[in-house]
Chains A and B, each alone.
Chain A
Amino acid sequence: MLQTANLSFSYLNSASFHFPNIELQNNEHLLILGESGIGKTTLLHLLAGILTPQKGEIVINDKTITNLNSKKLDIYRGKNIGLVFQNTTVISSLSVYENLEARLYFSKVSSQKKVIDDILQQLDLTEVKNQKPNTLSTGQLQRLGIALGVIHRPKIILADEPTSSLDDKNCDLVIKLLKSQAKKSDANLIIITHDQRIKNSFDNTLVL
């Protein structure tokens, strides 16, 4: 369950962003639409605990994360938040398998071979598990990004423009993957985008 109340944030020497309240029940998904510069990524980073709001609060499963100190917030984010980026970011010196291992290690989630093998299989990455990320195709890299966002079974999956640079076919595929992984993790899925193509895939939409 996710609740936000009166969230606002301002960058140094810049206009303030005031965000509408959000309330999601368990397993509920939300699509946040908005034009560039409206503060979509800022909202996503606030929900991820990467940014701290000047005002307002964020409550996830009855825990007010805006009240956590830096150390506790790091731990909370690592265990409960999964981030999926438009351009997948990975550790370039590690293989696909090792990237997933590192994800679990830094999240302080015990690394189980079976968990990693399962997600590799689900996302059709088993064959490339020993390859370095720079040898993967765009599609494989994107699936790896999703795997990194969900392998630790987070409570909230946050995806930032996951379909913007994809064609229609791959756009559908990525949304289906994200939904199915959110279901498997029993997590809330929040996607922020300006991509209108996926509007119909979600019942719950918020326009900034």
Chain B
Amino acid sequence: MNIVKLSYKNIATKPLQTFLTVLILSLSIGLLLGVKQLNKVFESQLQQSLNGVDMVVGAKGSPLQLVLSAVLHIDNPTGNISFTEAKKIAKGRYIEEAIPISIGDNYKGYKLVGTTLGFIDLHKTSLENGKVFEKPFEVILGNAVAKNLNLKVGDTFNSAHGMIENALESHDENPLKVVGILKSTQNVIDRLIVTNLESIWHMHEHENSSEVHNHEDDEITALLVKFSNKMGLLRLPRMINKDTQFQAALPKYELDKLFQFTAIATKSITWIAFAILFVSGISMFVSLYRMVKERAKELALVRTYGASRNTLIKLVFSQGFIIGMFSYIIGVLLAFFGIQAVFTSVKNTYKQQIYLLEFPQDILELLLFIFGIIIIATLMAIRPIFKMDISKILSNEN
């Protein structure tokens, strides 16, 4: 026999009350942990995917859509722009590097990006095996693409027109040949198929075969720009938006706006979770307080056995601790499996593998918080123990 065993036995005599307390406490823990983790993971994932791109130049439209499509590759492009005109911008002052990209095709849902080799350097990765593309229709696969589609160097495939899997508009005349596979980055490039711009132009040239190809007409989707100094940030976006037919979008600014918008939802859920946590803290207090009041005679008896007042306090705390820790474990498991379900859904939809971020740190922080709730609930519930008149309780009952 010990205090923990006695506490457990006491709790077990009130299954419904204990179940309700554990249920709401674990739900609030799961919600808090889940929302915090998802918020952190998505924010980090998106920020990380920017890869130092300071500005995106593309067709007029929604600046957020331009960023989402050209940088994060999770939306449709706003349109195409003239490559000739884009090159003029790329040669301008304040620009350290400008990488053209052309998107609009896919293979089994994985997006095909026509670009230069600078795109690979931009994403801070290199070849795991094979070589870089040298000719049109040679492609390098992102690590996740190669793994998920079981493709290797030397394999060929036909891409399809559009951003989603579509067998009806397949570019059958121009099979793409895998010449290299990139190292994993846990970043957006893992789920992209990279080729040169010419591949994209030749594939779509075929669609308009009656026309004579004119390189003046070549188009790209966007230009990914890195500024050489801060003056670029101050001058270029305004200049492009005012003086050209293109639009310039600042990824950091657009994503901050997006986070501000999503923060309203996550903050609301977080406050709801805190409200539930508060209610569950009260529920725990009521549960412990009722135990102290209803079992006053038994507690007085235990005092006659030689237990000190501190021992009774330990007994109450122990009951709170068991309820709190049990709820905590269930809450963490709920959060973990909930997050994994969201990650799986994201992977299926966006082909992007996401991993937990600082999860042990989050669960440890929440553990301290729950521990605080247990202590407060216990401190409030033990008041009758200090006022306990053992003699009176035992006399009245006998």
Is A86 among interface residues, defined by CB-CB distance under 8 A? yes
CB distance from A103 to the nearest CB of B (A): 6
| Residue with the greatest number of chain A CB neighbours at <10 A, chosen from B298, B304, B308 | B304
**Complex alpha-carbon distance, A105 and B6, angstroms:** 11
Is B1 within 8 A of A74, CB to CB?
Answer: no
Is B304 within 8 A of A50, CB to CB?
Answer: yes
Closest residue of A by beta carbon distance from B306: A78
Is B391 within 8 A of A94, CB to CB?
Answer: no
CB distance from A101 to the nearest CB of B (A): 4
**Complex alpha-carbon distance, A86 and B305, angstroms:** 17
Q: Annotate B301-320 by CB proximity to A: 1 below 8 A, 0 otherwise.
A: 11111111101000000000
Is A106 within 8 A of B298, CB to CB?
Answer: no
- Which of B7-15, B80-88, B161-169, B205-213 is the contact stretch? B7-15
Is B304 within 8 A of A83, CB to CB?
Answer: yes
CB distance from A109 to the nearest CB of B (A): 9
Is A93 within 8 A of B10, CB to CB?
Answer: yes
Is A111 within 8 A of B301, CB to CB?
Answer: no
A79 — which chain B residues lie within 8 A by C-beta?
306
**Complex alpha-carbon distance, A183 and B238, angstroms:** 102
Counting residue pairs across A and B whose Cβ atoms lie within 8 Å, the total is 82
**Complex alpha-carbon distance, A91 and B297, angstroms:** 9
In the complex, which residues 142-184 of chain B have their Cβ closer than 8 Å to any Cβ of chain A? none
**Complex alpha-carbon distance, A45 and B298, angstroms:** 17
- Contact A92-B13, Cβ < 8 Å, known A74-B306, A106-B306: yes
Is A107 within 8 A of B305, CB to CB?
Answer: yes
In the complex, which residues 62-96 of chain A have their Cβ closer than 8 Å to any Cβ of chain B? 70-71, 74-79, 81, 83, 85-87, 89-94
Closest residue of A by beta carbon distance from B8: A93
A101 — which chain B residues lie within 8 A by C-beta?
1
Q: How many residues of A are counted as interface, with CB atoms below 8 angstroms from the partner's CB atoms?
A: 37
Interface residues on B, range: 20 to 34
B300 — which chain A residues lie within 8 A by C-beta?
89
Q: Annotate A32-58 by CB proximity to B: 1 below 8 A, 0 otherwise.
A: 000000000110010010110000000
In the complex, which residues 1-52 of chain B have their Cβ closer than 8 Å to any Cβ of chain A? 1-2, 6, 9-10, 12-13
Is B269 among interface residues, defined by CB-CB distance under 8 A? no
CB within 8 A of B398: which of A75, A86, A90, A91?
A: A86
| Sample (30) of A-B pairs whose CB atoms are under 8 Å apart | A45-B390, A45-B391, A70-B308, A70-B309, A74-B308, A75-B306, A77-B306, A78-B305, A78-B307, A79-B306, A85-B394, A85-B398, A86-B398, A89-B301, A89-B394, A91-B301, A91-B302, A92-B13, A92-B298, A93-B10, A93-B12, A93-B13, A98-B9, A101-B1, A102-B1, A104-B1, A106-B306, A107-B305, A111-B1, A160-B398
- B residues at A contact (CB < 8 Å): 1-2, 6, 9-10, 12-13, 295, 297-298, 300-309, 311, 390-391, 394-395, 397-398
Beyond contacts A50-B304, A50-B390: 17 other A-B pairs, Cβ-Cβ < 8 A, are: A41-B398, A50-B303, A74-B303, A75-B306, A83-B304, A87-B397, A89-B298, A89-B301, A91-B298, A93-B9, A93-B12, A94-B6, A98-B9, A106-B302, A106-B306, A108-B306, A161-B398
